[in-house]
Amino acid sequence: MDSSVLVSCFVILNLFLMTIPASGGKSRHFRWEVEYMHWSPDGLEGVVMGINGQFPGPTIRALAGDTIHVELTNKLPTEGVVIHWHGIRQIGTPWADGTASISQCAINPGEKFAYRFKVDKAGTYFYHGHYGMQRSAGLYGSLIVDVREGDKEPFEYDDEFNILLSDWWHKGSHEQEVDLSSNPFRWIGEPQTLLINGRGQYNCSLAGQLSHSPTSQCKLRGDEQYAPRLLHVQPRKTYRLRIASSTALASLNLAIGNHKMMVVEADGNYVHPFAVDNIDVYSGESYSVLFTTDQDPSNNYWISVSVRGREPKTPQGLTILNYRPTSASKLPISPPPAAPAWNDFKYSVTLSKQLFALKGTPKPPARLDRRILLLNTQNFIDGYTKWAINNVSLVLPATPYLGSIRYGLTNAFDQKSPPDDFGREYDIVKPAGNQNSSYGNGVYTLRFNTTVDVILQNANALKANVSEIHPWHLHGHDFWVLGYGEGKFTDKDEERFNLENPPLKNTAVIFPYGWTALRFVADNPGVWAFHCHIEPHLHMGMGVIFAEGVRRINKIPDEALGCGLTGKVLMKKNGGI
């Protein structure tokens, strides 16, 4: 063979190897810079955390089986940063989970970190900051994974839209952090604006003329940073609407005026399709719904997002479903759809209970190896207001658990495991009798490949007759939601668990004064956060840490561990001291 042919064969082979890893799928490379920028998410200029000059950050789109490479440069002047890939299980790459103090050290200003991970399952996901309150600061974006080439979704549609929901405060995230950590406690209050794809209206309303609200009708040219992105549709087609919520606080309800929606996906897992007029979306959740444009095509229709679960002090977030060729500037003829009453929890429970796995979804193991009951309470520690789980309020250590557990650094965190249970005599309908709790950073060590049930038990907060919604999110796994119940969980409740077709999710709520039962298999070596996805609540200690199979992890990149005690170990290893 001619040598030039050989060389070009070699080059082609090399190119092939570069783009198609041995396991199949493509590599997709991104270079991102995180920085603060002036921005008007709702018409009032403030400061947001953006990526490559964009807010929200760029959308990542990939096929199942692809490998994502994000080379992140921290261009924030004085603070660290990490990015968590919400819903991606990070199988084999626990150091890429993007949780400061858990899976890695925060990336210092001026430094780079390479996230490299596989997206193994089609679905609607998103990414967000996971250090301090950087999600509240606007560090988030969408991550959409399509089915592998040649594979089909178990439903059909003509086209799709993507909606990322968030909430926005005019007070900066740093001031919010100080408020939450102060004594006497200062609550951050309700958000000023709800954002749809990073856009909301504070000084005006898209529906001003229709809703008789004191807020005036928006006069927009369309090129403002806060002008809504309209959804342009053709009549008589079926669309997939992907919805994810990156809110810091708000539980939301989304409706499309005059249109029913068919729920088909939740948190990257297919569900048995069911029709709804509107859908509750909690922070950390994602859904896909299908809708058909079967209404009068000479009108446009509202897409509205409303606050649920807390007394709403925030106007609805709005955008418009524009039936082509009707003019996009024609206002819908009726006011935006109203959400169910904010405190109609029965409605929310009923919606959650309608979620079942699509046939063919893996079923949970029938037997469990360990049950962990987690009581959610609001407490005081030395006069500071905190959230506690089994009376322990989480404070993250300086050294990332992944490194300290892998290298056996026993002085990096409390080696005593937090409790698996709470006193059964605890009265969940009253504020805690003994309101003092304590800080902790101990870990729940799960035996590798065992089946774990977590029962999340809600209770009364510090104020009488108040119990809040908390959406709990698990890193590194999906879990089966086996059931919801009212009051205090008892062993007898286990008989009512759904082991036939429970939905697989990564985020599930506990309702006021209720419990939620989850099951998962501890089969992903790593250290994983499990926490309330309400960012101020996590900041106030509402989370726990699970570790499993950490000894099996062999190749944690040094860049992930260059801080705290692991930083010192690495310095020694590399001949530094």
CB of 511 to Cu ion, least distance (A): 12
CB of 536 to Cu ion, least distance (A): 8
CB of 488 to Cu ion, least distance (A): 19
Q: Which spans of this chain sit near Cu ion (rule: CB under 5 A)?
A: 470, 532, 534, 537
Nearer to Cu ion, 526 or 536 (CB): 536
Q: d(Cα 68, Cα 127) in Å, to the nearest integer?
A: 13
Nearer to Cu ion, 100 or 534 (CB): 534
Work out the number of other CB atoms within 10 angstroms of the CB of residue 343.
Answer: 14
CB of 405 to Cu ion, least distance (A): 26
**Which of 309, 271, 304, 317 has the alpha carbon at shortest distance from 290?**
271
* Phi, psi (deg, nearest 5) at residue 17: -65, -35
Indicate the burial class of 187 (C-beta count within 10 angstroms; 0-12, 13-18, 19 or more).
Answer: exposed
Q: d(Cα 285, Cα 245) in Å, to the nearest integer?
A: 6
Nearer to Cu ion, 378 or 451 (CB): 378
CB of 515 to Cu ion, least distance (A): 15
Which structure tokens are listed for 559? 């860049």
Q: Which amino acid is at 219?
A: K
**Which of 544, 537, 27 has the alpha carbon at shortest distance from 282?**
537
Token pair 């993007």 is found at: 98
CB of 249 to Cu ion, least distance (A): 9
Nearer to Cu ion, 102 or 509 (CB): 509
Alpha helices by DSSP H, 91-136: none
Nearer to Cu ion, 454 or 534 (CB): 534
Q: How does 420-453 read in b/e, with b if 16+ C-beta sit within 10 Å?
A: eebeeebebeebbeeeebeebbbbbbbeeeebbb
SS3 157: coil
Q: Residue 539 gets which letter from DSSP?
A: H
Q: Residue 560 gets which letter from DSSP?
A: G
Nearer to Cu ion, 137 or 534 (CB): 534
Nearer to Cu ion, 26 or 310 (CB): 310
Which structure tokens are listed for 259? 């249109």
CB of 470 to Cu ion, least distance (A): 3
Nearer to Cu ion, 96 or 188 (CB): 188
CB of 252 to Cu ion, least distance (A): 15
Residue 213: partners with Cβ closer than 8 Å, 6 or more residues away: 205, 207, 315
Q: d(Cα 386, Cα 375) in Å, to the nearest integer?
A: 14
Nearer to Cu ion, 314 or 458 (CB): 458
CB of 276 to Cu ion, least distance (A): 24
**Which of 519, 514, 518, 454 has the alpha carbon at shortest distance from 488?**
514
Asked if 540 and 532 count as a contact pair (C-beta separation under 8 A), the reply is no
Residue 222: partners with Cβ closer than 8 Å, 6 or more residues away: none
Nearer to Cu ion, 404 or 458 (CB): 458
Q: Which amino acid is at 193?
A: T
Asked if 423 and 375 count as a contact pair (C-beta separation under 8 A), the reply is no
CB of 190 to Cu ion, least distance (A): 15
SS3 532: strand
CB of 374 to Cu ion, least distance (A): 12
Token pair 């977030």 is found at: 317
CA atoms within 13 A on the CB side of 318: 27
Nearer to Cu ion, 42 or 468 (CB): 468
Nearer to Cu ion, 256 or 532 (CB): 532
Q: How does 218-246 read in b/e, with b if 16+ C-beta sit within 10 Å?
A: beeeeeeebbbeebbbeeeebbbbbbbbb
CA angle 198, 180, 316 (to 5 degrees): 30
Q: d(Cα 254, Cα 325) in Å, to the nearest integer?
A: 25
Asked if 190 and 307 count as a contact pair (C-beta separation under 8 A), the reply is yes
CB of 534 to Cu ion, least distance (A): 4
CB of 245 to Cu ion, least distance (A): 14
CB of 376 to Cu ion, least distance (A): 7
Nearer to Cu ion, 90 or 136 (CB): 136
Residue 293: partners with Cβ closer than 8 Å, 6 or more residues away: 233, 234, 235, 236, 237, 238, 239, 259, 321, 323
Nearer to Cu ion, 32 or 387 (CB): 387
Asked if 326 and 297 count as a contact pair (C-beta separation under 8 A), the reply is yes
